Amino acid sequence: MNRITALLEEKFGYRTFRKGQEEIIRAILNKEDVLGIMPTGGGKSICYQLPALVLEGLTLVVSPLISLMKDQVDSLNEMGIPATYINSTLQFPEIQQRLGMAARGEVKLLYVAPERLETADFLELLRHVSIDLIAVDEAHCISQWGHDFRPSYLKLAETIRSFAERPVIVALTATATPEVAEDICQLLSIAPENQVKTGFARENLAFQVVKEQKDVYLLEYLKMNQGQSGIIYASTRKEAERIHHLLKHHQISAGIYHGGLREQERSKNQEDFLFDRIQVMVATNAFGMGINKSNVRFVIHAQIPGNLESYYQEAGRAGRDGLPSEAVLLYAPNDLQIQQFFIEQSESTIEYQQNEYLKLREMNQYAHTQMCLQSYILRYFGEQGSDCGKCSNCLDDRESVDVTLETQKVLSCVKRMGERFGKSLVGKVLTGSKDQKITQWRFDQLSTYGLMKDWTQKEVTQLIDYLTAEHYLLPSEGQYPLLSLSSEGVEVLLGKRKVFRKQATVKQLVVDDDLFEELRALRLELAQEQQLPPYVIFSDKTLRELAEKQPQTSLEFLQIKGVGQNKLEKYGERFLALLQKR
């Protein structure tokens, strides 16, 4: 076995490299700069953590994600790898102490935010330490064409250029269109041919677009997937609060995270989520950057985000451990207006805004496409993909129901009511309600009154939502949009176009067996003892393999993915005791 594979096994407990890892590691050890583009959960960290062990000097990890640092450093220390971080959460004496450790060579890795490279203290340190490798995490932040540009990253490029002896640079990102990748290479002076791209496909993620009633779907989904960890994203604080309230009302264990909360509250909620004390986190996009909780089983977007880059990145927080997980987008046409509003409000150039509108349109088309959802995303990032076989479009082989007739009833009712009313009143007319408003407006005189008497009001409004999502009906702006017919809708009315509909279903993700639950409980106990998030001890994937293989000896235990020497020593005994009992 060669040296780096041996290290992979000894320190990280993995037998084989994932796609791209070995190539990137070898490039680094050959002193070549490299840009690695790997999907979330693809295993980017090992690409610099492993070389850090081999290289003599320090590995500087630049990451914009302060919340990630502690977690990463805890994980490394757990594996017996000396590492530390410096960021604004620390007091001055602590920073000095850690800088000292780095200068004396007591740590192999030092994590810092890009801003740190602008401080005098730090630049002074750089003069005294030999830095062999700089890992630039979330490297897309350096590009203005990316969706998350950070000016401090440009400074970083400057600092790197000012080094007397240039360390090896490894830039890593999970989201880069070809233009962004080119930009990263240029700004960090990485030869464009030194790109390792493993493909964006997340094979363990099943994408779904759901256009039915959000709240009903959400509650049903959470009921079906009780005990699984997940994130629910909303576009606004207000909507996050609303959903959080809704879940609490239904006794679902949920926390909330958004920029409007006090720092203290945010970090408490985040910790509760990381430590599996709460099941679901309801959040705005302020949450998640740097959350590397590996056992997130689902990410649900309760509202459409502004672009596919953000969507893929946020959705990609599900299933980092490689186990089957879901990414669900709940689509409602009105949510697009929120994103439009954000763009209008942004104080940026017209050119930038137009680019944002374009991105939003692509995002919207994702919600409407009939093609494989994973392939659609890959195509957006300039990659070819074959059908994933598990997204809601690929699985949509249930017979589509021809709802042309029902659609015609709805559309003709909307038309006869003058295209001046919202879905609830249209629903009332169609179901023949005796509501006062109906008689007041004399809608009971319409030929469409009571035309769908055998449907419930709710069923009709769901159909209306669907027809709106499919662009047969156009909603006006505002909270209670008025409906009018689109040109496609008119075609349906004229009998020139048919309408098909498939219902969304909710299924259970994984059936946990008893042993897995016992292992999970033990992990939680250990995590509480050590004040660590459970997944830092072992990932769900490792637990699952333990439950399947049921190792009985230390040697067998070591064969499990995710178990290295250090973890064997720390936890082997307790886990083996549990496994041997069975």
Residue 320 lies near ligand ADP (rule: CB under 6 A): yes
Interface pick for ligand ADP out of 4, 17, 33, 254 (rule CB under 6 A): 17
Residue 544 lies near ligand ADP (rule: CB under 6 A): no
Six-digit token pair at 332?
A: 């409602």
CA-to-CA separations, 153 to 36, 158, 159, 515, in angstroms, rounded: 17, 9, 10, 46
Work out how close the CB of 528 gets to ligand ADP at its nearest, in angstroms, rounded to a whole number: 21
Closest to 505 in 3D by CA, of 328, 279, 317 = 328
Residue 551 lies near ligand ADP (rule: CB under 6 A): no
Residues 388/394, Cβ–Cβ less than 8 Å: yes
Query: What is the distance between the alpha carbons of residues 477 and 354, in angstroms, rounded to a whole number?
Result: 20
Closest to 41 in 3D by CA, of 227, 297, 329, 366 = 297
The residue among 333 and 534 lying less far from ligand ADP, judged by its C-beta, is: 534
- Sheet with 168-173, strands from edge to edge, namely 83-86, 109-112, 58-62, 131-136, 168-173, 34-37, 195-197
The residue among 38 and 210 lying less far from ligand ADP, judged by its C-beta, is: 38
Stretch that binds ligand ADP, among 11-19, 249-257, 348-356, 452-460 (CB under 6 A): 11-19
The amino acid occupying position 446 is L
Phi, psi of 540, rounded to the nearest 5 degrees: -55, -35
Which residue is nearest to ligand ADP, using beta carbons?
43
Residue ranges in 198-237 that form contacts with ligand ADP under rule CB under 6 A: none
The residue among 211 and 320 lying less far from ligand ADP, judged by its C-beta, is: 320
Residues 283/258, Cβ–Cβ less than 8 Å: yes
Interface pick for ligand ADP out of 34, 38, 110, 218 (rule CB under 6 A): 38
* Contact mark string toward ligand ADP, 267..306, x via CB under 6 A: -------------------------x-x------------
Interface pick for ligand ADP out of 59, 279, 374, 539 (rule CB under 6 A): 539
Residue 40 lies near ligand ADP (rule: CB under 6 A): yes
Q: Any bridge partners for residue 135, and if so which? A: 61, 170
Residue ranges in 113-142 that form contacts with ligand ADP under rule CB under 6 A: none
DSSP 483: E
Six-digit token pair at 83?
A: 């590492």
Query: What is the distance between the alpha carbons of residues 429 and 414, in angstroms, rounded to a whole number?
Result: 10
Residue 42 lies near ligand ADP (rule: CB under 6 A): yes
Stretch that binds ligand ADP, among 36-44, 428-436, 500-508, 568-576 (CB under 6 A): 36-44
Interface pick for ligand ADP out of 33, 239, 309, 321 (rule CB under 6 A): 321
How far from the centroid of its chain's Cα atoms is residue 326's Cα? 10
Query: What is the distance between the alpha carbons of residues 264 and 89, in angstroms, rounded to a whole number?
Result: 12
Stretch that binds ligand ADP, among 41-49, 181-189, 504-512, 523-531 (CB under 6 A): 41-49
Six-digit token pair at 440?
A: 């007041």
The residue among 40 and 392 lying less far from ligand ADP, judged by its C-beta, is: 40
Stretch that binds ligand ADP, among 37-45, 150-158, 206-214, 502-510 (CB under 6 A): 37-45
Work out how close the CB of 562 gets to ligand ADP at its nearest, in angstroms, rounded to a whole number: 7
DSSP 9: I
Closest to 463 in 3D by CA, of 418, 408, 507 = 408
Residues 75/536, Cβ–Cβ less than 8 Å: yes
Q: Any bridge partners for residue 474, and if so which? A: 484
Residue 44 lies near ligand ADP (rule: CB under 6 A): yes
Residue 64 lies near ligand ADP (rule: CB under 6 A): no
DSSP 10: I
Work out how close the CB of 188 gets to ligand ADP at its nearest, in angstroms, rounded to a whole number: 18
Residue 46 lies near ligand ADP (rule: CB under 6 A): yes
Residue 45 lies near ligand ADP (rule: CB under 6 A): yes
Task: By CB under 6 A, name the binding residues for ligand ADP.
Answer: 14, 17-18, 21, 38, 40-46, 292, 294, 320-321, 539, 561
